[in-house]
Chain A
Amino acid sequence: MTKTKTFNTKEQAKWKFVFAISFLILATVLEVSGYGNLRLGQMYFSAWLYMVGIIALIIAIKNHFYGGEIKYDERTQLLMLKASKKTFAILIYVAIGLMFMGTINPMKVDLMTIASVVLFSIIIMYKFFYWRLSKKF
């Protein structure tokens, strides 16, 4: 049996608040002090800080009001492992399919678009498999 790990998202919310507020303050300081045009890749650094800060703030508010104790026991860990394996397998099949398609008809794609599509697909696929497996096990 794998050891049960317990997390209290409500208790951790205060640290997320601190993290979010610091990012938002730092972004505002950069904007006010005239360093707002600093770039991080294709985005302005302050815009990136604002984005991360706002996302962290939303998560912190959600955890503070709706959070609670989460237990990762042996069943949960089994579900996570199975969902990860399935997501990974689909990712490999899709990659093979795209490579095969690329040999027939060469494609030019924007790396940033592909990266964001892959990232969100992985998250959605994982959540879907986890939900389906939790009905089975």
Chain B
Amino acid sequence: METKITELRKKLKITQQELADIVDVSRQTIVSLEQGRYNPSLELAHKISKALKQNQIEKVFLLK
């Protein structure tokens, strides 16, 4: 899965740790998500999209 987390996070000037705290996961999980190594659950994907001010999950997570 491809993600736009890094891009959107940098646009909002949020650090990985800050995003991790908002969505209540560890920083390592955010790192894994950004690198496309881990596929999140629907709930986590929804939380991240909301934290990155996106109303659609598809704008953050792209299924290849």
Shortest A79–chain B CB gap in Å is 10
Shortest A81–chain B CB gap in Å is 14
Within 8 A of B (CB), among A80-137: 134, 136-137
In the complex, whether A4 has a CB less than 8 A from a CB of chain B is: yes
Q: Is the CB of B32 within 8 A of A75?
A: yes
Q: Is the CB of B24 within 8 A of A137?
A: no
Q: Is the CB of B43 within 8 A of A75?
A: no
A107 to B41, CA, bound (A): 49
Instruction: Kindly state the interface size class of chain B when it binds its partner.
Output: 10 to 19
In the complex, whether A76 has a CB less than 8 A from a CB of chain B is: yes
A71 to B30, CA, bound (A): 12
CB < 8 Å neighbour of B44 from A74, A76, A134, A136: A74
Q: Is the CB of A134 within 8 A of B28?
A: yes
Contact with B along A47-83 (1 / 0, CB 8 A): 0000000000000000000000001011110000000
Selected A-B contacts with CB under 8 Å, 22 pairs:
A1-B42, A1-B43, A1-B44, A4-B24, A71-B20, A71-B24, A71-B25, A71-B26, A73-B24, A73-B26, A73-B29, A74-B25, A74-B29, A74-B40, A75-B26, A75-B28, A75-B29, A75-B32, A76-B29, A134-B28, A137-B32, A137-B37
Q: Which residues of chain B have a CB within 8 Å of any CB of chain A? A: 20, 24-26, 28-29, 32, 37-38, 40-44
